[in-house]
């Protein structure tokens, strides 16, 4: 059973468009991270959200943690080709020590 489901799995958009990626679970997370991974490289940490309802902004990227701490979203405004990559959410369920990674969203931004 996958604890963290991401949607969509694949996304191909034109430069300048907006998009939202979702990360959903039936479990409550103590905190949640978003990573971006480029081919042949390790994931790079973008942000950590901790408090239910928390919103964090990183330039054109907006991250939100659900009120119930079971879901999160990543919104990109005016996507650029440099945003292309695999986006992964990850978190630790309350009471468990292991970090669980989401299924991933592969984003392609076409110039």
Q: List binders of other proteins among 32-61 (CB under 8 A).
A: 33, 35, 40-45, 48
By CB under 8 A, residue 82 contacts other proteins = no
Among 91, 105, 107, 109, binds other proteins (CB under 8 A): 91
Three-state SS annotation for the chain: CCCCEEECCEEEEECCCCEEEEEECCCCEEEEEEEEECCCCCCEEEEEECCCCCEEEECCEEEEECCCCCEEEEEECCCCHHHCEEEEEEEEECCCCCEEECCCEEEEEEC
By CB under 8 A, residue 24 contacts other proteins = no
Per the CB < 8 A criterion, the answer to whether 37 and 56 are in contact is no
**Nearer CB in complex with other proteins: 35/63:** 35
Among 21, 23, 79, 90, binds other proteins (CB under 8 A): 90
By CB under 8 A, residue 104 contacts other proteins = yes
- Binding footprint of other proteins on the chain (CB under 8 A): 30-31, 33, 35, 40-45, 48, 88, 90-92, 97-104
């Amino acid at each position: 059973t996958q604890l963290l489901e991401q949607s969509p799995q694949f996304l191909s958009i034109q430069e300048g468009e907006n998009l939202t990626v979702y990360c959903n679970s039936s479990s409550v997370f103590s905190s949640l991270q978003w990573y971006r991974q480029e081919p042949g490289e390790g994931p790079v940490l973008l942000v950590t959200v901790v408090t239910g309802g928390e919103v964090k902004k990183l330039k054109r990227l907006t991250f939100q943690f659900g009120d119930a701490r079971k879901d999160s979203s990543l919104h990109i405004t005016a996507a650029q080709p440099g945003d292309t990559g695999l986006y992964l959410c990850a978190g630790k369920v309350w009471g468990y020590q292991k970090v669980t990674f989401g299924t991933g969203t592969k984003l392609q931004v076409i110039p």
